[in-house]
Amino acid sequence: LINSTVIDKEMIKDVCDGIIKQISREYMIECEKNREFPTKLWNAMVEGGLLQLGFSEEYGGIGGGLTEQVYSLDLLSSAGLGPVVVTPNGLARIPILKYGTEEQKQKYLRATTTGDIKFAFMITEPNAGTNAMKMESLAVRQPNGDYKLNGQKIFISGFDHSDYSLLVCRTTAYKDVKDRREGLSLFIINSKSPGIEAYPQNIALPLAEKQFTVYFNDVIIPKENLIGEEGKGIRYLFDGLNPERLFAAAHNVGNAEFLLNKAVAYAKERAPFDQPIGSYQSIQHPLAYVKAHIEATRGMIYKACELFDQGKAREAAMYSNISKLLAADVFREAADITAQVHGGYALDEDYDIAYFIIASRGSGIAPANNQLILNYIGEHVLGLPKSY
């Protein structure tokens, strides 16, 4: 257990090494195959204090910032133990910490640090994916101040294991706003509320967490569950999106490292022409490139985290976006060469590679697709005109 107000990287590494010794990749494979939540891993993370990182003691935390949270994810993912649910859960906590009432912080944040509650994150709708602001789910204020919610969300990761969800919905319909960023609000919603129905989707990715379509039929959201002011939700959400990009980047760069280690070990042994295939430059150079790209991406990730932890969120945005883009790319690059190195065995499930080939493809699509990231860089960093 990390037990200090001054967190250093060595402590986090010790805790993660302990978890890696305790929880095997085989356990994760079983969870992924059966699409079962990795409870043992989650509990080990709680016991190690990893969910307390990024919060002060007053909310049940042990200090540290985004850097430390991201570092722990990077280490676990590098051992093939990346829990996807950390991303929605981690994202959800940030707007509550920054814009929540003291009561919301005490009630929800503290319980996330002890693992007693988990958050899902709900923004995507069938007609509002990349263009999230076009969403239709609408919460209408009732005479007593509470809200009545109707609508639908899709692709909600880990909804079955969530206690609460951070919900982004409209409080003013899309057709009634002048600017599409207006009229969106953030709510904490009890995932078990009457009027919610959820159905698992048939997602081909063997992730340990399932994705769900969630329907809202006259769901009552108590007024005290609104975060900040009504209609200002998108501004609050943006504060959580850069950390979300960095959690995803850590996960992807860690997966790339896991695959690289696997490929290198195999390339040293496999010798169909009596010489290890790792001696051939057709194999060696792509592996060396992956190593170079992993380290360059990590440099970007930790630069973004550092800026974020210094309170320079605006400056961190470019680096967070670039991190997400490069990490998705290097994961795909690593999966591709690892498959090549293993030849036919790459497709033998017992070699634990096929899963990563599909997962790496997904990394350029979710949580934000690479085109959206390129749009950000093109428009907001380079100042180019918007085309859509």
The answer to whether 129 contacts ligand FAD (rule: CB under 6 A) is yes
The answer to whether 252 contacts ligand FAD (rule: CB under 6 A) is no
Nearer to ligand FAD, 271 or 374 (CB): 374
Q: Which of 121, 216, 236, 308 binds ligand FAD (CB under 6 A)?
A: 121
Q: Within positions 87 to 106, which residues make up the interface with ligand FAD, using CB under 6 A?
A: 88
Q: Within positions 204 to 223, which residues make up the interface with ligand FAD, using CB under 6 A?
A: 205, 211
Nearer to ligand FAD, 105 or 245 (CB): 245
**CB of residue 171 vs ligand FAD: minimum separation in angstroms?**
18
CB distance 228 to 186 below 8 Å: yes
The answer to whether 122 contacts ligand FAD (rule: CB under 6 A) is yes
How many amino acids of this chain bind ligand FAD (CB under 6 A)?
Answer: 22
Q: How wide is the angle at C-alpha 292 spanned by C-alphas 287 and 297, nearest 5°?
A: 125
Nearer to ligand FAD, 121 or 302 (CB): 121
The answer to whether 34 contacts ligand FAD (rule: CB under 6 A) is no
Q: Which three-class secondary structure state does DSSP give residue 140? A: strand
Gap between the Cα atoms of 344 and 353, Å rounded: 11
The answer to whether 165 contacts ligand FAD (rule: CB under 6 A) is no
The answer to whether 123 contacts ligand FAD (rule: CB under 6 A) is yes
**Within its chain, how far is the Cα of 267 from the centroid?**
31
Gap between the Cα atoms of 105 and 102, Å rounded: 5
Segment contacting ligand FAD by CB under 6 A, of 110-118, 180-188, 344-352, 367-375? 367-375
Q: Which three-class secondary structure state does DSSP give residue 177? A: coil
Gap between the Cα atoms of 97 and 245, Å rounded: 18
Closest to 132 (Cα-Cα) out of 180, 186, 61, 99:
180
Say if residue 367 is preceded by a cis peptide, omega within 30 of 0. Answer: yes
Residue recorded with tokens 């599909």: 358
Nearer to ligand FAD, 250 or 368 (CB): 368
Q: Which three-class secondary structure state does DSSP give residue 199? A: strand
Q: Which of 10, 143, 350, 388 binds ligand FAD (CB under 6 A)?
A: 388
The answer to whether 366 contacts ligand FAD (rule: CB under 6 A) is yes
Say which residues have a Cβ less than 8 Å from residue 129's Cβ, sequence separation at least 6: none
**CB of residue 350 vs ligand FAD: minimum separation in angstroms?**
24
Q: Cα separations (Å) of 232 from 176, 180, 183, 283?
A: 15, 12, 7, 52
Interface ranges with ligand FAD (CB under 6 A): 88, 121-124, 129-130, 155-157, 203, 205, 211, 362, 365-369, 371, 375, 388
